[in-house]
Amino acid sequence: MPKPFRFGVQSFNADSGEQWADRVRKAEASGYSAFHLADHILGPGPALEAAAHPIQNLAAIPAMAYAAAVTSEINIGCRVFCIDYHLPVVLIKSALTIDKLSNGRLEFGLGAGWIKSEYEATGITFDEPAVRIDRLADVIEGIKAFTGEGSADVSNNTISWKDFEGLPKPVSKPPIMIGGGSPRVLRLAGREADIVSLNFNNRAGMIGPDGVQMSTEAETTKKVGWIREGAGDRFDDLEIEIGAYFTFVMDDAQPVVQMMSQQFGFSEEEMLRHPHALFGGVDTICEELERRREQHGISYFTVGEDALEPFAPVVARLTGK
C-alpha cells in the first residue's frame, strides 16, 4: 500500500511579519502539510557567492515560532537544522518548545552541515564529512534522551549531560527528519529518522552542477538503497521526502526543459525525470509524482515558495484537500 502524498513549502525570506504570516497561512489554506525554513546564516558577500546559495534573511527558530503562532494545522519544520550551528541542548529545547506551543506540529529536521564557506566565514571548524555525520548521530542520541523519561544522561563525543530531565516533553512524538545525499548520512537516516530527506550529495561544499548531476534518477535509486541498508526491517515505516527545487507548473515546459538540460549536461528525457525537478501542467506533474512514488517510494515533496500557488492544484489533486 503506497504511503499517502504529503507536500511542503520551503521559504527563506520575508520583508515583514505580515508577509511571513500571509505566506504560511496561504500554504495552510492550500492544503500543504508542512512549512519549512532552512538554517543558514550568511548575508550578501564573497562567502555567500562562493556557496552559490540563496540568501536567507530569517533565523530558523524564531521564524518557525512565528509561523506556528499564526497557523493552527500545518506542521512547522526546518530542512534542516545544521547541528554545528547550535549548542545541542539549546537547539533541542527550542525545537520542543515550538512543538509544545504549536500543540505538536513540529517536524524536527537535522543535518550534518555542508556549506564550507559558511563555516569558514563564521569561524566554525569544517570537519571531514565522517566527523560531522558522527556528530549528527550524537545529537540524535541526545534528542532521544531529552525526550525520554527520567534523567537525560548522555555521554558521547559531542554531548555530556547528567542530573537533569529534559523539558518540555513533546506533545506527541515529533518526527525526526534527517537530510543528506551521501551513503553515510543516508544509512544513518535509515537507522534513526522518521522522515528521510533526499538532497544533493553536496560533497563540493557548495551548490553547483556536481550536486545536480549526482542526483539523477539512477543516483536516487542508489540513495534509496543506502536508506534501506540503514533501516533494515523498519524501512517500510519511513517516509521519504525530497526537495523539488526546479518546479515549473506550465502547459508548455519544453523550452525550460531544453534550457536546463543543456545547463546541466542531461538529455531532455533525463531532465524531465530528474527527482529534484518537475515540469508541465497539473495532469503531467501528478502522473510523474505517482510514478516516482511507485519507483522510489518518495511520497513527500517540498517545493519552494515561488511555486506555492502554481503548485497548489497538484496538492489538491493528490491529497483531496
pLDDT of residue 82: 97
pTM summary value: 0.95
Q: How many domains does the chain have?
A: 1
Name the grid cell of 185: 548520512
Cell 545544521 locates to 82
pLDDT of residue 201: 64
Is 253 among the domain residues? yes
Q: Residue 151 and residue 165: Cα distance in Å, rounded?
A: 4
Q: What does each C-alpha distance from 35 to 16, 97, 300, 314 come to in angstroms?
A: 17, 17, 12, 16
pLDDT of residue 54: 87
In the predicted model, what is the mean pLDDT of residues 15-38? 97
Is 118 among the domain residues? yes
Is 113 among the domain residues? yes
- Minimum mean pLDDT range among 44-53, 79-88, 170-179: 44-53
Is 244 among the domain residues? yes
**CATH number for the domain harbouring residue 187:** 3.20.20.30
Give yes or no for a contact between 158 and 139, defined as CB atoms under 8 angstroms apart. Answer: yes
Name the grid cell of 95: 525545537
pLDDT of residue 203: 57
Task: Kindly indicate the confidence band of residue 237, based on its pLDDT and cuts at 50, 70 and 90.
Answer: very high
Mean pLDDT of the chain: 94
Which are the contacts of 211, defined by CB distance < 8 A and separation ≥ 6? Answer: 181, 200, 201, 202, 203, 204
pLDDT at 211 over 90: no
Which are the contacts of 117, defined by CB distance < 8 A and separation ≥ 6? Answer: 42, 47, 48, 50, 51, 205, 206
Is 151 among the domain residues? yes
pLDDT at 202 over 90: no
pLDDT of residue 209: 67
Looking at the chain, the whole-number percentage of residues with pLDDT higher than 90 is 89
Say how many C-beta atoms besides its own lie within 10 A of residue 307's C-beta.
20
**Which residue would you say has higher pLDDT here, 308 or 204?**
308
* Per-residue DSSP letter, 307: G
- Provide the residue range defining the domain that includes 31: 6-319
Is 1 among the domain residues? no
In the predicted model, what is the mean pLDDT of residues 235-245? 96
pLDDT of residue 204: 54
Is 138 among the domain residues? yes
- Host H or E run for residue 230: helix 217-231
